[in-house]
Amino acid sequence: MNPDVVDVIPLANYCLLVTFKTGERKSFDVKPYLQYPAFQKLTKPGFFEKAHVEYGTVVWDDNTDLSPDSLFLEGVNEELSQKESL
């Protein structure tokens, strides 16, 4: 079982900066999910920015959520992504 999410910061271009209970921080690209009907609401102006943490994962006001496992396994380690951009 992967760790719970404790903090999320919505970033530009439909990305999230996610902090896990272990202290690990990962960036997660939501763009591939936007093609699915359940996630299309996130493209409405101002809606994506309402991401917050409930029950150990990222959710939005209408109960759209992302699996903490997906966030952890598919997220890019923040330290690695910063080094790769140098």
Find the Cα–Cα–Cα–Cα dihedral 75, 79, 84, 86, rounded to 10°.
Answer: 140
pLDDT in tens, 11-26: 999 999 999 999 999 9
Beta pairing partners, 52: 59
Residue 16 contacts residue 5 (beta carbons within 8 Å): no
Query: Can you spell out the DSSP letters for the chain?
Result: -PPPEEEEEEEGGGEEEEEETTS-EEEEE-GGGGGSGGGGGGGSTTTGGG-EEETTEEE-TTS-EE-HHHHHHHSEEHHHHHHHT-
pLDDT in tens, 46-79: 999 999 999 999 999 878 999 999 999 999 998 7
The structure's pTM equals 0.88
